Structure 1
């Protein structure tokens, strides 16, 4: 069955449900341009430090001393979060999205899913923050807090003078290495070959990351979700486009 804009993220392959949940927000009311300038003033509130971040505001009592472990950077309409939630029901996951309308949509959708599955307690482990991860990531997460980070179909910033705006750069990778625990994973996928080569080059050159082998990719059940879980990925499929994934592991810190 061909998925529509309203049902594409709800026809879940994984538990707990494959039904169409009533009362979900419609994407057509939350449309916004595909990308946003990360260097503009977006009037974003952010915590002074991770110690000032109260995750109960996002997860309620389910936080209960837990810390966020998965971060989907530029989560878009939240498709990946919806699919990962049943796979890791005890793991807190956060989507970070700079666009106001899009983050509002994801939040409304999560609240609707929680309400629909209130008896079973599903989808309590996912939430969304409207923020600029390129600027404020260390304000949210402690050193070594995250075990997975996702960069799915990020803005390619085609012009050479805007390459410094890309979400994968040497300086930003050092921040990602800081918040990722040893053995943690960075997942990337794009339909732009130049961007794929750029991300692979920068991650390969960084001393704290190593690329997963093809065998390791096949053994990771999360990798298969990178292709179709997002609206962007589904659009590429409809247009018969190619997709290039790459996953990197956070290496141990070198001895002092």
Structure 2
């Protein structure tokens, strides 16, 4: 059986990632589709969202991942676990997130968004490929209710600072603390977070609240 290699990084600006994603019927995706929704942007293998769905059954969790084979593998894990409050999708959020949220109608259940350990794109000319762009921040501000949260985490301080700068530029978001959080606000960890902490390295975390 041939082993399919999955690229660690993909360019979200390339033509193959510009097509809008198909919109699912949310009442078929989630058993209780109107309960609070947490979107994990760049969910990777989906282990964080999988754990969260098990630990917080009164919430729905939607993982969005730009690498299609990775998203499909995550969705297979969801099916094997039989979790009806969890769903994964192949998605370029900077192309499709607004349409996904609009499809809920007037009362989107979105309450929380996490962006954790995104691709750093260190080179200056590549930073426009970073996931948290001003347009995405505007979309989150539009659809999150007052008190809704955006949680960002990275093991690269410059990337965490950049995400915080993008959120701070939007007048609808307020950072909860000036310094980095010492503890995650979540009862689950991403694979990258676990490995980083096991190595004794820092994780840079911040929470922004929709005002």
Shorter-chain TM-score category? 0.7 to 0.9
Secondary structure, aligned partner of 2:72? helix
The 5-angstrom pairing of residues 18-167 of structure 1 reads 32-40=6-14, 41-42=16-17, 44=19, 46-47=21-22, 53-59=24-30, 62-63=31-32, 66=34, 69-114=37-82, 123-142=83-102, 145=108, 146-167=110-131
Q: Does 1:236 align with 2:189?
A: no
TM-score by length of 1: 0.71
Structure 1 unmatched runs, 5+ = 1-28, 115-122, 252-256
8 Å CA contact 1:141–1:179 kept in 2: the answer is yes
In the TM superposition, residue 191 of structure 1 has moved relative to its aligned partner by 0.5
Return the alpha-carbon distance in structure 1 between the equivalents of residues 44 and 63 of structure 2. 8
Q: Please tell me whether the aligned partners of residues 111 and 145 of structure 2 are also in contact (alpha carbons under 8 angstroms).
A: yes
Q: Distance in 1 between matches of 2:162 and 2:54?
A: 32
**TM-score, with structure 2 as normaliser:** 0.84
Indicate the RMSD between aligned Cα atoms, in angstroms: 2.6
1:68-114 superposed Cα distances (whole Å, 9 cap, x missing partner): 61110010111221221133313221100111221111111111111
Structure 1 contact 31–102 (Cα < 8 Å) conserved? no
What's 2:185 paired with?
223
Conserved? CA contact 2:72–2:89, under 8 Å:
no
Which of residues 143, 146, 149 in structure 2 aligns to 1:182? 146
Residue of 125, 132, 135 corresponding to 1:168: 132
Larger Rg: 1
Deviation string, structure 1 residues 116-136 (Cα, Å, up to 9, x no partner):
xxxxxxx21001011111111
